[in-house]
Amino acid sequence: MSISNPKKIFVNDKMQKGYSYFLTEPIGKNFAPDFKPELSPKEMLELGVFGGIYMRDCVKEFPSDWTKKAKFAKGKTREEELNYFKINASQPLSVWRKKGWINEVHDPRGWFQWYCRYYFGRRVSGYDEIQIKRWKAFTRHIGQIKKNCVQTDFSCRPKQRQALLHWAYDSRKI
């Protein structure tokens, strides 16, 4: 059920000025049928993703409980020890831009920003389908872990496991 009186969200952070969007769906509800993330943005931030540098300047955009237990870096640089698997599994934003994976209008920070806003209730026809397709393509990493690792051996392929956490797959269960 869509929200009958959508709330408008205004964004003014380091990477996006003057952007706004509407929350047209209830938080965490009414996802596309083929989009079944295993972790919420809140859970991902609590587990430790992106070396703790993601979203620190835009926490006011989202519900405050998402960041109460989030693992955020204290300084300006990524702290890989904050990641669940204690390894850096991120590519620089410049790589994402070069490959055309960033939509500068809607989500200049990339997939996780899209996911946070989608989970929060924003929908963007056409664009959401592209991001969901990218999410589904990431399952190839699950297959590689299952093929090459004993179940829950976190020392096996930790970079892939961390990357899966970045895409809302709970790699602790693989």
How many domains does one find in the chain?
A: 1
Whether residue 19 is contained in a domain is answered as no
Whether residue 135 is contained in a domain is answered as yes
Whether residue 128 is contained in a domain is answered as yes
* Domain ranges, residue 113: 34-173
Whether residue 41 is contained in a domain is answered as yes
Averaged pLDDT score across all residues of the chain: 93
DSSP codes of every residue in 77-143: S--GGGSTTSS-----HHHHHHTT--BTTTBTT-HHHHHHHHHHT---TTHHHHHHHHHHHTTHHHH
What is the band of 1 on the pLDDT scale with cuts at 50, 70, 90? low
pLDDT per residue over 75-126, tens digit each? 888 999 999 999 999 888 888 889 888 888 999 999 999 999 999 999 999 9
Whether residue 24 is contained in a domain is answered as no
Q: Determine what percent of the chain is predicted with pLDDT higher than 90.
A: 80
Whether residue 126 is contained in a domain is answered as yes
> Does the pTM of the predicted model rise above 0.75?
yes
Q: CB neighbours of 120 closer than 8 A, spacing ≥ 6? A: 9, 23, 27, 62, 63
Average pLDDT in the 24-43 region?
97
Whether residue 27 is contained in a domain is answered as no
Whether residue 6 is contained in a domain is answered as no
